[in-house]
Structure 1
Amino acid sequence: MDRSTRIKRYHVPTLNDTETLADTVPFKIEWSYGWNLTMGLKIIVNDKSKKNQKKLQMFYASTHVGIISEYNIETKKTQMKILNGHNNFISSFDVSTNGRWLVTADNGHDSVLVVWEIAQGTPIFTAFLPPNVGVVAVKFSINSKYLVTVSSTLDSGAQSIGLWDWTSGAEEPKHSAQLGAETDPVLHIATCPNRSNFYCFTTKKMIVFLTVDKVDDKTVLAVHNPGLDPEQKEHQYTQSVYITNFRQVLSASTGGNVSVWDDYDYNSLEITETPIKNEKRLLKTVRLQNCAINTIICQKVIMTGNANGDIFFYDKTLRILYHLKKFVGDSIVSISMLTSIDKCTEIDTIEEPVQCVNSRKKKCAGPDNAKDFAIPNEPQLKFDSFVLSTGNGRIILVEVADQNFIQIQEPCDGSVTSSTVHPEQTFIVFGSSLGRLNMYNYHDKQFLISYVIASDHQPPSDSRYITNIEFSPKGKYYYFVNSHRRDCFRYRFLLVLRHGRRIFLVSQSLSVDTNHPGAVQIGQHRNQSHHF
């Protein structure tokens, strides 16, 4: 069976296939007002994005579909391509370093692994997994020729590593290896930008290294477990990253610590240039911050985002360069650069010597078309623009060249618990489990206003969900009901006044305790105004 026949056989219908979808699917997904914010997002960097820097492409997941979102910086408009082909929620995704392809995978019964062409939003490779196996993590190799997956059986939870030669259309992993029973579920996969055969797997309690090696002309997946870091007993790992042009790996944790892994013997009396290997061992544990580090990346510099909303910039010896304190006021989930990763000439062997970690000599230069930002008082230090996502669902473009930021996506935290549509205008309102209401214009696909239920005694919690929303017959106001315990409900009324590009909200609350029906409390009016 040739490749074209195989792709046709496993073709996944998309929204462009209107002839086939019309017969099988009564509704087509055109837009998504929410996304899986715990997975973060990936910026798509390719030739198209380099030519048109006014448009920003990114990818994220929303339940069982993938979304290629294109944001126009000038018009503030967003266009979406919906990638439909999974029966289960997408569990992992990745974008190739050249920005041509992306891969999505799900974890459940009838799981699939799909590689998509970004330009057209069409699937070019699809692999079906066994009925009781799902994918928990997937990653492109640095040269995009292979896929590395971590799959797990649904009944026992046993994990296995798969190396897929997807460009040849192989329907099964070309090579595989088992992870030990003591290994926690894999949370994150990191690739080495200077060695396409080096990988690092992050679990909650341990770090595992994988080397795609050749022994007697046969490809072998060598798994190395360096053991536990005693400093991380009370904390959990979140992500790991290879330091570009260095031989070290950094693993961030919820305790604000970073474990440094290295294969160089610094206790040796002789200083030699030894071949770099992926058999890392713990070198040291460094206390960087006083809260959880959720994400860590390395391109020109090392960047971290933590639970307080701080962004730290470090050099490759972990010397702090710059600090944006509580930059977004919420937990940072992901950071993605607008420029491609610094990548040297591909080296697929472990026999190539590299310089010691203390060497500051660069082997390759960064992209010459990137916008740079000179840090105050240190003009020789330059950073590129980046996009970050937060724990409440916001997506923010940080234009460091202009020392400015743009909010691309509004908050959308919590699960949707209720919704309603305006009786006369194209407005729709969603209520969430965290007490947030978002209003959109569903015709123009435009966000209008956000309102968060505030409590005089406690902030919104998971139990203070909005149970019902209704507009008045003419749509001049709407009321909603929220509950912070089963026997107490609060009825709130919002008067919606629109003037130009400003919306005014006038609210009043009414609390009813079912245990004491006669006890009714009426809250004071609160006036708010919001731009849209």
Structure 2
Amino acid sequence: SEKVSSSPPNTDTVQGVDAPAVIPDAPKIPSPEKSEVTSVGLEGSMSSAALNVIWSFGLNRNIPVLNLTDNSRKLIMYACAHVGVLYDFENNRQHILQGHINPITCTCVSEDKRWLATGDKGADSTVIVWDTYTGVPVQTIFDTNPEGGVVAMAMTPDARYLATLSAAPTQVLSIWNWTVDGDTPLCTAELNPSYGVQSFIHFNPEDIHFLVSNSDSQVIFYQWNDNHMEYFAPPLTDQDFNKPVGRYSQSIFQKNSTRVLTSTSIGNLVVWDTNKPLTKLHDSQPSADKKALKIIRQQERGINVLTTTENFIVVGDMAGHVKFFDQSLKLVHWYQDFHLGPVTSISFAFYPNFEPVAKEGSNYPPDATIEARRFVIKDFVVGSSIAIFGSVTADGTKVKVIHREHDAAIHALSAHPSLPYVVMGSYSGLLKIWNYEKKQVMVSRQFEKNSMIRCCAYDPKGAYIAVGFVNGSVRVLDSITLEDQTAEPFRYARYGITHIAFSHNSQFLATADGEYTISVFKKQHLNDEPYGYLGRYRAHYKDIQDIIFGIHLDSNQPRLLSLGKDRVLVEYDLENSSKDNLRITSSDRIEQSAVPQCLTWYPPITKEHFIVTANDQFKFKLYNATTKMCRKTLLGPTYGSPIKKIAVVPTKDPIKEKRYLAYITDDKIGLHILPLCGNPHDAMALIGHPAGVSNLVCSYDGKYLFSAGGTDASVHMWEINTSALEAQSKLGGEDLIPFYGLLDGGREGELFAELEDYFYYAQIRSQGVNAMDKRELSVKIPLTEVPFVMRAMGFYPSEQEIEDMLNEVKFSRYVETGKYVEDIDLGDFIKLYINHRPAFGLDPQKLVHAFKTLGVPSAQGNSIERGYLLDLLQTKGEHMTEYELAEYLTTLLGFNGEGGSSELQEFDSSTAGDIIDQNLPVNVTEEMFANEILGFSMYKDVMATSQLTS
């Protein structure tokens, strides 16, 4: 070593929890019995959940792949969204490790490949330690910090201790004795945020009381015992050695030495050594106090991976090469023909009695020495930045590609109409068809650069696949070869294709694009190309949420509908459309305040033909397929975010068999029993992709669901277990029991008692308050009383919502009996109330938003001038008459003891103008409007927060 003098680096010492000063011997972890050593991965075992993920397509290319291969198995582990995958690449079997609710951010494994740790980042984050032979979690470390989670982990070779680097802005390094305690770390160190995000950590295999970690700009050295940790962060700049350093990638301890090596993004190796004079080095105890000794220009390409195996130092670089050096950094061997892409991870198999000696008949490559000795190492697995995993068998230098997956977001997903095939496409331009029964890739195609695939669809006969791209082009491909069926792609849209669909008879192909436009292509029978352009129509002024083809009731002709964010449902006249002249049949505004998210055809489980939609207010709505009248509103699943897409699960007998609806929310996938009724126990949901679910399709036989994760570049295959969902529904109770649970206080609560009073008072009202005849009380009230009882219950529907409610009851039996329903009983009223009221009650933020939009800022908050407010109420939206406005305002201001036009008197409007002028200020603030006019105390805190924000 060279004598280099420099000022000592800054030192930070952090005390940990009390613990014994002497570390006992590491536990001897027993080797598994031969009966245990089996390839985990028996997918398909039915679980007690209604949905069970049984296979994951894709992988997280940013998390290193771990090689768990030993003498009895060929196994790797990689992350896929929020699950870990143990993949037996010899037998093509997976075992899914489920336990995280956030995307997995880091993994590590013990030297003997038995103990595996996985960690995530986010709310309710955890670190889970698994037994890789059984796939069972053996320890869980919970993090209660909202910004919790880990970004890097390392395990000691004997698997006793685990080091974690937290994900919080101020990172904490923690050492855990996970075999004893998963609640409290042995010791911790809080790191200065100026060091950057430490993203790599490594134990010294020869002395586990020393660690090294690094961010892309700072290397930190640690020394710890059971109750104390100190660390050193030596500075290093380009000026120290008059040469560029580069960004740090990974660090290792050099064997039989005090040195540490750190690789960089420009091909350098930084050598760190003890920061003490050479003469005192052998007299002192080992120390974590190190400094940069030299910078070695190792190669031209950036180094991503730096690890060790046996006596070799192993480097993986941006060129896709893997190099082996001896301890003096002399090149011993160089693999350069893998063609797997830039190397981001290298992991070696574990052979307990491995001897680096070439046996007779072996075919190991020669090393780089003059003697050209056989280069004998363990088999290893390489991961790349373009989502390719390869297994390298050292004896013979055989490279087997384990996975070649998407390295960009997956949005395009479609299932074959009659075969077990699923096609998926990504922003990387890769299109793959999988046989999901055999878990084999049937065919794939890599499109040219910048051809980002946004959506795709099989035609109903399975002959073609239509693919829509982000650049607005559409291709029609042969479903077997993926070859183009048209001379040139269709290029009629200037923005990305968002939706694509075929008609039931394959006669039409329709696309929706980012320009709010529908394009239709028609089947050509006298031309070599299967489809030709028909026309385009821009019927929406906001994003198109969904498009569907259907069948006319009186014929077998297809019909096309599109649903927009502008709340408009448009039907197109395909029969009378001609080249460059696409026509529309109708355009209906189907929502008043909610924004529809998706639609599909309601299955034939009713005599009436319906379209079902889901909106952002957690409601399902059924519309008559012909008149577009809203026939039913139902409470949907309330799992954090509204439903984004729905699909009716196929079945062999659509008429006799029970039907189910699959759906996705922002991050969940779920299943719902049909018919829809608002019962919350009829639905379930699981976290599908924590970073967001982008698409959903069902297999043709209704056995499986497939969910695409968008940015996580993965697709999960879910097995459907309808028995579990039916059992859940039965346990929730029958008839009205589930709905009683949605009332405050339930069946015995005050709200239900009030409802009964209102219900019977409504009967008195309908018969006349002053009537002296004998009262005839029944179990029903007239429909005309429904709006008044609803408002008395604290639900304030608009006139449109009242019309929808009344129509729902009025036409409920019309198809069966040909007669209108004119009254409603208590049970049906409770269901109507539960299904129509806001899913989460009144939203104070809506009033704040209204005043912020319509008003002007003032010292008291946003305010609206009185005359302007009265004008808005009379002319905009569901406008009021002058008489109604006077009646309502004077009542709300407290000047009508009986509540305006009561049962006992008519409202006198002669003095209303003076009352409003005297009691309503010139400038009405949101606080005054909420507290004094509406009388809602719930708005006070919201108003205060709003004013503080302003």
Q: TM-score, normalised by structure 2?
A: 0.44
- Alignment of 1:474 with 2:468, yes or no, is no
Is the Cα–Cα contact under 8 Å of residues 15 and 84 in structure 1 kept in the other structure? no
Is the Cα–Cα contact under 8 Å of residues 91 and 137 in structure 1 kept in the other structure? yes
- Alignment of 1:93 with 2:97, yes or no, is no
Aligned position for 1:278:
288
- Alignment of 1:134 with 2:149, yes or no, is yes
Deviation at 1:140, TM superposition (A): 1.1
What does the per-residue CA deviation read over 1:438-493, in whole Å, with 9 as the maximum and x for residues that have no partner? 11100111122221111xxxx23xxx421221123322221211123xxxx22222
Q: Name the amino acid aligned to 2:457.
A: E
Q: Name the amino acid aligned to 2:207.
A: R
Is the Cα–Cα contact under 8 Å of residues 143 and 196 in structure 1 kept in the other structure? no
Change (3 A) 1:368 1:115: farther
Aligned counterpart for 1:145 among listed residues 160, 163, 176:
160
Aligned counterpart for 1:297 among listed residues 298, 302, 307:
307
Aligned position for 2:189:
177
Give the SS at the match of 1:510.
coil
CA distance in 1 between counterparts of 2:470 and 2:182 reads: 53
Aligned counterpart for 1:491 among listed residues 474, 482, 489:
474
CA distance in 2 between counterparts of 1:18 and 1:449 reads: 28
Aligned position for 1:373:
364
Give the SS at the match of 1:38.
coil
Aligned position for 1:391:
385
Is the Cα–Cα contact under 8 Å of residues 414 and 433 in structure 1 kept in the other structure? yes
Is the Cα–Cα contact under 8 Å of residues 93 and 138 in structure 1 kept in the other structure? yes
Is the Cα–Cα contact under 8 Å of residues 142 and 192 in structure 1 kept in the other structure? no
Give the SS at the match of 1:182.
helix
CA distance in 2 between counterparts of 1:417 and 1:321 reads: 45
Deviation at 1:341, TM superposition (A): 9.4
Aligned position for 1:102:
116
Deviation at 1:158, TM superposition (A): 0.8
Q: Name the amino acid aligned to 1:263.
A: T
- Alignment of 1:314 with 2:325, yes or no, is yes
CA distance in 2 between counterparts of 1:415 and 1:85 reads: 23
Q: Bigger shift: 198-207 or 226-235?
A: 226-235
Q: Name the amino acid aligned to 1:99.
A: K
Aligned position for 1:164:
176
Q: Name the amino acid aligned to 1:490.
A: S
Aligned position for 1:29:
53
Aligned position for 2:751:
none
Aligned position for 2:231:
223
Q: Name the amino acid aligned to 1:144.
A: A
Q: Bigger shift: 236-245 or 82-91?
A: 236-245
Aligned position for 1:346:
none
CA distance in 1 between counterparts of 2:493 and 2:440 reads: 39
CA distance in 2 between counterparts of 1:340 and 1:146 reads: 22
Aligned position for 1:189:
201
Aligned position for 1:413:
407
Give the SS at the match of 2:221.
strand
Change (3 A) 1:134 1:403: closer
- Alignment of 1:331 with 2:345, yes or no, is no
- Alignment of 1:58 with 2:86, yes or no, is no
Change (3 A) 1:86 1:17: farther
CA distance in 1 between counterparts of 2:82 and 2:167 reads: 18
- Alignment of 1:512 with 2:503, yes or no, is no
Deviation at 1:274, TM superposition (A): 6.3
CA distance in 2 between counterparts of 1:245 and 1:380 reads: 24
What does the per-residue CA deviation read over 1:331-386, in whole Å, with 9 as the maximum and x for residues that have no partner? 111011113699xxxxxxxxxxxxxxxxxxxxxx9678998834255115433321
Aligned position for 2:436:
442
Q: Name the amino acid aligned to 1:210.
A: Y
Aligned counterpart for 1:38 among listed residues 62, 74, 81:
62
Q: Name the amino acid aligned to 1:281.
A: K
Change (3 A) 1:324 1:16: closer
Deviation at 1:159, TM superposition (A): 0.7
Give the SS at the match of 1:298.
strand
Aligned position for 1:359:
none
Aligned position for 2:935:
none
Aligned-pair identity (%):
24
CA distance in 2 between counterparts of 1:233 and 1:340 reads: 40
Larger radius of gyration: 2
- Alignment of 1:113 with 2:127, yes or no, is yes
Q: Name the amino acid aligned to 1:415.
A: A
For residues 225-264 of structure 1, the aligned pairs below 5 Å read 225-230=233-238, 235-263=246-274
Give the SS at the match of 1:31.
strand
Change (3 A) 1:131 1:26: farther
Is the Cα–Cα contact under 8 Å of residues 199 and 214 in structure 2 kept in the other structure? yes
Aligned position for 2:452:
465
Aligned position for 1:358:
none
CA distance in 2 between counterparts of 1:448 and 1:16 reads: 20
Is the Cα–Cα contact under 8 Å of residues 266 and 301 in structure 2 kept in the other structure? yes
Aligned position for 1:79:
93
CA distance in 1 between counterparts of 2:180 and 2:281 reads: 44
Q: Name the amino acid aligned to 2:322.
A: I
Is the Cα–Cα contact under 8 Å of residues 373 and 384 in structure 1 kept in the other structure? no
Structure 2 runs not aligned, ≥5 long: 1-40, 496-516, 518-527, 530-950
Is the Cα–Cα contact under 8 Å of residues 345 and 384 in structure 2 kept in the other structure? yes
Change (3 A) 1:246 1:483: same
Give the SS at the match of 1:32.
strand
Change (3 A) 1:316 1:407: same
Deviation at 1:282, TM superposition (A): 0.7
Deviation at 1:327, TM superposition (A): 2.8
Aligned position for 2:423:
429
CA distance in 2 between counterparts of 1:410 and 1:418 reads: 17
Deviation at 1:264, TM superposition (A): 6.9
Q: Name the amino acid aligned to 2:93.
A: Q
Structure 1 runs not aligned, ≥5 long: 1-13, 343-364, 498-502, 518-523, 526-532
Change (3 A) 1:313 1:369: closer
Q: Name the amino acid aligned to 2:377.
A: F
What does the per-residue CA deviation read over 1:5-44, in whole Å, with 9 as the maximum and x for residues that have no partner? xxxxxxxxx999989x62xx42111111111111121111
Give the SS at the match of 1:379.
coil
In proportion to residue count, which structure has more helix? 2
Is the Cα–Cα contact under 8 Å of residues 385 and 400 in structure 1 kept in the other structure? yes
Aligned position for 1:347:
none
Give the SS at the match of 1:30.
strand
Give the SS at the match of 2:473.
strand
Deviation at 1:322, TM superposition (A): 2.4
Q: CA RMSD in A?
A: 3.2
Aligned position for 2:895:
none
Change (3 A) 1:226 1:83: same
CA distance in 2 between counterparts of 1:83 and 1:128 reads: 17
Between the two proteins, the alignment pairs up a number of residues equal to 449
